[in-house]
Amino acid sequence: MNSDNITIVVADDHPMLLKGLVGELTTHNYNVLATAENGAQALEMVIKHQPLVALLDIEMPLLSGFEVINKCLEKSIPTKFVILTSHKEKAYVLKAKKLNISGYLLKDEPFSEIENCIRKVLSGENYFSSAFDEVFETKVSPQLQKIKFLSPSERTIVRLIAQGKTSKEIGESLSISHRTVEKHRANIIDKLDLPPSMDALTAWTLENKEIILSL
């Protein structure tokens, strides 16, 4: 497909970054249909134009890039979405994977990487920056595998711990004794291969809070 046949909407709340990216796209003959400096505008432009590709920042006023994508998916908009961001924390990577976003790139990558990503997603492939793949493989996936070993009741307790609940509050909400909660915690610690202390489980749940609460 020729680049002038590839329609694009670009959204970023940093005017200079937005101008620079649009300039690069235009120079390389891509058909930029519209730009947006906040999430609400981005949503409006994507729904109105239904471009082949939307390049979105994550953190924007009014709606985040993820929220824009979610709303477009609810409306069955056929656009392929590519996130351009400075974030590579596991919470963002996990969210992108769960939304099945087509592409996820770092803002400091060369324009050739953006072009490569656009071509890949339009051919039906997902394209994640190697930095994001590394985060998923080393930080997200191993924790997801560990959580799979937990029983449904143990997962519930882990979620409640991640929400900051004490053993007493967990027992009250699940109508079980404090002793039963402590027994569950001990089993969870064993299954997750954590050091044998309740503090270790609390620390683990805080570190992996986004993963746990996403399940």
- The structural domains of the chain, ordered by start, are 3-138 (3.40.50.2300), 149-214 (1.10.10.10)
Mean pLDDT of 108-115: 88
Dist. CA 94–CA 141, nearest whole Å: 9
- Give the model's pLDDT for residue 32: 93
User: Token pair 């992996």 is at which residue?
Assistant: 208
Q: What is the arithmetic mean of pLDDT over 148-175?
A: 88
More confident residue, 145 or 69: 69
Taking the CA atoms of residue 112, residue 70, residue 206 and residue 194 in that order, the dihedral angle to the nearest 10 degrees is: -80
- CA–CA distances in Å: residue 205 to residues 74, 131, 160, 172: 31, 24, 9, 20
**CA 102 → CA 99, 126, 213, distances in Å?**
9, 5, 23
- Per-residue confidence band for 88, with pLDDT thresholds at 50, 70 and 90: low
Q: Supply the pLDDT for residue 69.
A: 93
Across the range 104-122, mean pLDDT stands at 89
CA dist 85 and 105 (Å) reads 6
pLDDT at 56 over 90: yes
Statement: residue 183 has pLDDT above 70: yes
Mean pLDDT of 27-49: 95
In angstroms, the CA 158 to CA 184 distance is 10
**What's the pLDDT at 191?**
86
